[in-house]
Amino acid sequence: MRKVRCLSAALLVIVSVLITSLGPGTVFALAQGDVAAWQTSVNTLPAVVRASGSTVYNDYVYVAGGDGADGPTNAVSFAPLNSDGTTGSWQSTTVLPDSFMEPTVVAYDGYLYVMGGYGGSPSVRATIYYAQIDADDGSLGSWTTSSTDLPYASHAANSVVHDGFLYYMGGVNFGTTYATVSYAAINNDGSIGSWTSTTSMPDSRRRASAFVANDRVYVLGGQNIGNDIQSAVMYADLNSNGTVGSWTVSDNSLPQQRLAGGAAYIDGFAYYLAGHSGSATSSTVYYAKVNSDGTTGTWSAATNSLPIAMDATMAVTNGTYLYVIGGANSNGDKLDTVYYAQVTPYNANGDDDSDGVNNGVEDAAPNSGDANNDGTPDAQQSNVASFVSPVTEKYVTLTNGGDGPECDITSVSISAEDENEQNDSGYDYGLGMVDFTAQCENEGDSVTVTILFHDETLDENYQLRKYNPTTGLYAEIADPYVDYFEWNESDSGFFVSYVVQDGGELDVDGLTNAVIEDPVGVALAATQSSGNSNSDSSGSATVGSDNLASTGQSARFYSMVAGTLILAGASFVLVCRKALLKS
């Protein structure tokens, strides 16, 4: 009876741990790029304002113009951005020569620029004002009216600066919304050179949001001349001579149409914050990976939304924190609040998919970091690992999944044959021996394992062989699928595929436990010595086989919970066992 009570108590501990693990109080680590909890700055703006322009320069944030308490304003204020994300006290500085809202504001090489806008005289403006920024205290000198106007009068446009050039894009002038893009050189004295038209956007835009990343400009959301609110993400190269390359509309749009929100870029990730959908203001923050080829990954809603829904706000960043400044709430009330939040930084030495390979190593893999050509960077997939073989000094990619179950890779390595306890007599493992461990979602899962050898060719006398470190024996893996691939002119090679079942003969732990351990001492015999039989032959050589693309739902959380249950239950049973022995 005492034993039954003890076991019942152990089960109660397990259930309690499960409830705790899955309950509403569970705290999850933020994914890379995700946004931490938003904080409200104790230092508010000097006055409420919406539809202003804002930028960051030299650790100061600037807000210029906008729609204030009494309509369009000429006020300019600034505040220091501290290393912990807080803002210092806001100070007023030199007011603009006129009052207007929806200007664009940028800073470059010691000058602040305020362009376009609505209000004042004329009501829609082509004027450019610029003022020098004091390097010591961040204050502004007197404003200068540029002798060079914008190419056209407009408001609700976008401006960016890059490599000595100023860009002006889109905007609206009463019934006309523009797709036009123009650029001008910024002179050493802060003045603006003449404007030149360059490649227009694919569609007109007003109240869109823009940022620059990796020598490209991105334009998100907004509204076109047909008054349709957009979810599209467009991007184009910014060339060294100032011209803009052809525009691409990303395959991954914002999850919802948005205008009058804010956009920012931090360390490999794009962010879109707040805005209006046409029916309601939003507090949602979206983020997506910006890939090295300019494409954006799938957009996700951040774990932490803004404290309130808002639009006509200003979003800026200091490279570590996101700031959302002013705007209007869902009732249309103008705001003086400043919210800030830290984002989970991209770490090239980190391992965001927990496959045992650093982000930077996988990002540098062939095919722009998508070495299995499935459209998703390898560093973002727990069932794909790309790494450099220490044996050949070439990339190898390990995947599992395909049409069936997928398992999360938790470790992967390649070693030379002579590093094992004993050699496989008569076989030469010129490509090394691939070894990995994976966590599956279900016990008994069978997964297709595929290994891609980049920049390699296959000897026709190959065998795919298994090394069991428990027995020290080698065996042939029967009937693997072998083929060649060519993703592009600079990335080709061959791959091998075979099936491993949890608890099956190729799973060397011998347990049906949802863990596949060392399912490879998988070795590829690149050449075979005489006197050894070889019953296998290589598969067909169809180039560019498309059966490798595989992404899947991560099982790490469930494995962590299962591990916690096992440890808790085992510990309690051990305590009970000791108690029983003493009785």
What is the DSSP code string of 518-561?
A: ----EEEESEE-TT-----------TT--TT-------HHHHHH
The rounded percent of the chain whose pLDDT value lies above 70 is: 82
Same domain, 487 and 568: no
**Confidence band, pLDDT 50/70/90 cuts, at residue 420:** low
Going by C-alpha positions, the residue among 499, 495, 518 that lies closest to residue 508 is 518
> Would you tell me how many other CB atoms lie within 10 Å of the CB of residue 544?
12
Residues 491 and 454: their CA atoms lie apart, in Å, by 7
> Across residues 85-109, what is the average pLDDT?
98
What pLDDT is stored for residue 510 in this prediction? Answer: 84
Q: Give the total number of structural domains in the chain.
A: 3
As given in the structure block, the two tokens for residue 138 are 């961040």
DSSP code per residue over 61-117: EEEE--EETTEEB--EEEEEBPTTS-B---EE-PPPSS-BBS-EEEEETTEEEEE--
pLDDT at 73 over 70: yes
As given in the structure block, the two tokens for residue 19 are 């409830």
Report yes or no on 350 lying in a domain.
Answer: no
Same domain, 410 and 301: no
Residues 386 and 361: their CA atoms lie apart, in Å, by 7
Same domain, 10 and 150: no
Report yes or no on 557 lying in a domain.
Answer: no
CATH code of 64's domain: 2.120.10.80
Strand, coil or helix: 576: helix
Report yes or no on 120 lying in a domain.
Answer: yes
Same domain, 488 and 569: no
Among 20-29, 273-282, 302-311, the minimum mean pLDDT is found in 20-29
What pLDDT is stored for residue 91 in this prediction? Answer: 98
Instruction: Please give the sequence-ordered ranges of beta strands (E in DSSP) within 88-237, or none if there are none.
Output: 91-92, 104-108, 111-115, 128-132, 144-145, 158-162, 165-169, 172-173, 176-177, 181-185, 196-198, 209-213, 216-220, 233-237
What pLDDT is stored for residue 375 in this prediction? Answer: 86
What pLDDT is stored for residue 466 in this prediction? Answer: 82
Same domain, 21 and 81: no
| Terminal alpha carbon distance of the chain | 13
Instruction: Calculate the CA dihedral of residues 399, 403, 407, 410 and round it to 10 degrees.
Output: 10
pLDDT at 421 over 60: no
Report yes or no on 437 lying in a domain.
Answer: yes
DSSP code per residue over 272-301: EE--B-SS-BB--EEEEEB-TTS-B---EE
- Asked if omega into 122 is within 30° of 0 (cis), the reply is yes
Which of 293, 309, 342 corresponds to the end of one domain? 342
Same domain, 63 and 122: yes
**Confidence band, pLDDT 50/70/90 cuts, at residue 28:** very low
**Tokens 């190419």, residue?**
151
Going by C-alpha positions, the residue among 63, 78, 86 that lies closest to residue 138 is 78
> Across residues 235-244, what is the average pLDDT?
98
Give the side-chain half-sphere CA count within 13 A for 5. Answer: 4
Read off the DSSP letter of residue 12: H
Give the side-chain half-sphere CA count within 13 A for 570. Answer: 6
CA–CA distances in Å: residue 493 to residues 401, 457, 551: 20, 6, 21
Same domain, 253 and 313: yes
pLDDT at 197 over 80: yes
What pLDDT is stored for residue 553 in this prediction? Answer: 34
The residues facing 216 across adjacent strands are 213, 237
Same domain, 403 and 291: no
Q: Higher model confidence: residue 510 or residue 154?
A: 154
Spatial neighbors of 429 by CB under 8 A, at least 6 apart, are 416, 417, 523, 524, 525, 526
Same domain, 459 and 313: no
The answer to whether 233 touches 251, Cβ cutoff 8 Å, is: no
Among 17-21, 392-396, 453-457, the minimum mean pLDDT is found in 17-21
CA angle 92, 95, 100 (to 5 degrees): 115
> Would you tell me how many other CB atoms lie within 10 Å of the CB of residue 120?
18
Report yes or no on 469 lying in a domain.
Answer: yes
**Tokens 């000198």, residue?**
141
Among 148-152, 325-329, 409-413, the minimum mean pLDDT is found in 409-413
What pLDDT is stored for residue 520 in this prediction? Answer: 64
What pLDDT is stored for residue 459 in this prediction? Answer: 76
Residue-averaged pLDDT of the chain:
84
The answer to whether 158 touches 172, Cβ cutoff 8 Å, is: no
Q: Quote the domain boundaries for residue 181.
A: 39-342
Report yes or no on 404 lying in a domain.
Answer: yes
pLDDT at 108 over 80: yes
Same domain, 373 and 315: no
Report yes or no on 460 lying in a domain.
Answer: yes
Same domain, 220 and 363: no
Is 387 exposed, middle or buried (CB count within 10 Å of its CB: 0-12, 13-18, 19+)? buried
Pairing type for strands 285-289 and 269-273 reads: antiparallel
Helices 2-22 and 556-582: crossing angle, nearest 10°?
160
> Would you tell me how many other CB atoms lie within 10 Å of the CB of residue 576?
18
List pLDDT tens digits, range 315-340.
Answer: 999 998 999 999 999 999 999 999 99
What pLDDT is stored for residue 583 in this prediction? Answer: 37
Q: Higher model confidence: residue 506 or residue 305?
A: 305
Report yes or no on 354 lying in a domain.
Answer: no
**Confidence band, pLDDT 50/70/90 cuts, at residue 528:** very low
Same domain, 90 and 63: yes
> Across residues 519-533, what is the average pLDDT?
46
What pLDDT is stored for residue 472 in this prediction? Answer: 79
Among 36-40, 319-323, 381-385, 428-432, the minimum mean pLDDT is found in 428-432
Read off the DSSP letter of residue 345: -
Q: Higher model confidence: residue 557 or residue 507?
A: 507
